[in-house]
Chains A and B, each alone.
Chain A
Amino acid sequence: MTDKRIQQTPSSTDRPIIEIIGMHKWFGEFHVLSDINLHVLEKERIVICGPSGSGKSTLIRCINRLEEHQRGQIFVDGIELTNDIKNIEKVRAEVGMVFQHFNLFPHLTIVENLTLGPIWVRKMPKKEAEETAMMYLEKVKIAEQAKKYPGQLSGGQQQRVAIARSLCMNPRVMLFDEPTSALDPEMIKEVLDVMIDLAEEGMTMLVVSHEMGFAKRVADRVLFMDEGQIVEQNNPHDFFDNPQHERTKLFLSQIL
């Protein structure tokens, strides 16, 4: 991957699309996230890294309430995440999520995987949903597989379908939880390429990833998490060349 950075796009507005204020989360007795404060501006691209078990997945899963937080506040696009299921569904429709293990629906064809959300959540007519789906499949370069089932595709292809599935909902934010770490090395690039395209188009993205080349190229900000806290955050240049905290230095020395 080249070192050339994408030209930073200034945010159209300065209103944060995600606002996390003093958020804590426990799993039973275990204090997994502690005092998280994070503002994400529209079109911002954030890469989150940190050792395994530091709470990266839990943090981004709180943003679409796959996990519930116990203290503090989370606002997505101005909507606070509470127990109100209608609000949660509204937020989830605006926030796309890509998982480590793709989580495609194995009983549906690729194109059905993509049209499901638009048809049932957005109430889009089937024909229109299929056209949108084909457009996004073209975009992730996999249109010829539309009639197949997920089980017939390679990991890299499945992950690209998963990204397209989220995009079909026309989300305001995309969350990626280690999208390439379940992939064979030769498939990582095809997925990262799709994500880079997406970043260039100005999608707001939060990416949990250890792909440092990707972080250097697209991130506006890199977050380092350890033991449930955001230890350090900075632009990628300073983050990698001049880390401030000992723990960050140690982590970077291990993965680079």
Chain B
Amino acid sequence: MRQPNSTTTREYLKPPITEVGVLGWIRQNLFNSWFNSLVTLLALYGLYVTILPLFKWAFVDSLWFSSADACRDIDGACWSIIPANARFIFFGFFPEDQQWRPLTAMILLFALVFYTQDRRSWNRALFPIWACGLVLMGWLMHGGLGLPVVETAKWSGLPLTLMLSLFGMVSAYPLGILLALGRRSKLPAIKSLCVLYIELIRGVPLISMLFMSSIMFPLFLPEGINIDKVLRAQVAIILFTAAYIAEVVRGGLQAIPNGQYEAADSLGLNYGQAMRLIILPQSLKIVIPPSVGILISAFKDTSLVVIIALYDVLKTTKVTLSNPKWMGSSTEAYLFLAVLYFIFCYAMSSYSRKLEKTLHTGH
């Protein structure tokens, strides 16, 4: 702020006063003419007739921890379907006495993600910490070394969803970056290979890639060799997401002015150093919003694995609903799923906004 200078006669005026406070805002924006007042009142009435019954259904007339039979006699929501079937919805076919293992693995995963989201922990220690965490999670899920082995065919529910999406994102991102760099390569062979890959993958729906991975791919394998079904789906998701990431990252690379490449080159940095230290940090920062968009849709798309008979959290919920006892509570079950998915997606998108802010360097 500039202070008035005593030697000049220049006047410094206050900004014009507007009506402040909630009431002022309401009067200015909602009731500033008879027409706006009418619209406001109509909208309020509309909310009254929709929200109120919904609220009554969800929270007043509802049951939260009851048996299926008790639900028959109420008008409200029967949320009891969730706690009553929580084990199956969350862990699917994982043996009941072993379900503490996926639970621990998920808690470990959340802890790692929470630790990583803080910019201050982005240092050399991060990589070994994740490596240890992943090994530990793998051991918890699969077993061996003292724990009974659980085949991947039994991995289901939320751990499966989280695993497919987390590994999908974490592996697709570097692969996508490599593809984007390849697509801008001066070597024609590498360039056309990357273009071909990106365009081919973007030309097919994820469903068909999942089908290919589960039905066609095994036909090409020699007799006796059997690659795990979950792994195949995982690879399909990675390959699919990477193609989309690649195009977004390429956009970010194009946004970097030539002067940055020239400055990096003229210092004598080699290609890898210039990319890693100068170009990628800037372009990846630019593409945070669209990347997170892709990651969010990749997260939701993992639910497509039902079509190759993997039981993610959506499928386990559906299985619960096929039980005649609970069949009537499908609205509640799907609402629960929606909230569950929303929590993860919202966390991702608000984190991306926070990250943009932390990485902003004022230019």
Contacts and interface: CB of A to CB of B under 8 A. Distances in A.
Contacts of A18: none
Q: For chain A, give the interface size range.
A: 20 to 34
A110 to B, nearest CB: 11
Nearest to B274: A120
Interface in B309-363: 359, 361-363
Interface string A151-187: 1100000000000011001000000000000000000
Interface stretch (A44-52, A99-107, A132-140, A216-224): A99-107
Interface in A101-136: 101, 103-107, 116-117, 120-121
Interface in A85-107: 85, 89-90, 92-93, 95-97, 99, 101, 103-107
Given A101-B259, A107-B285, A107-B361, A90 B265 contact: no
B200 to A, nearest CB: 32
Nearest to A100: B259
Interface in B251-267: 257, 259-260, 262-267
A89 B268 contact: yes
Contacts of B285: 107
Interface in B185-224: none
A217 B206 CA distance: 69
B266 A95 contact: yes
Given A92-B268, A152-B362, A107 B263 contact: no
Nearest to A92: B268
Given A104-B263, A107-B282, A120-B277, A149 B269 contact: no
B9 interface: no
Contacts of B264: 105
A92 B267 contact: yes
Contacts of A204: none
Contacts of A152: 362
Given A106-B282, A107-B281, A149-B363, A121 B260 contact: no
A147 B62 CA distance: 58
B67 interface: no
B175 interface: no
A150 interface: yes
Given A106-B363, A120-B273, A99 B263 contact: yes
25 contacts: A66-B262, A85-B270, A89-B269, A89-B270, A90-B268, A92-B266, A97-B263, A99-B262, A99-B263, A103-B262, A105-B260, A105-B263, A105-B264, A106-B282, A107-B282, A107-B285, A116-B269, A117-B268, A121-B267, A121-B269, A149-B362, A149-B363, A150-B363, A151-B361, A166-B266
Interface of A: 64, 66, 85, 89-90, 92-93, 95-97, 99, 101, 103-107, 116-117, 120-121, 149-152, 165-166, 169
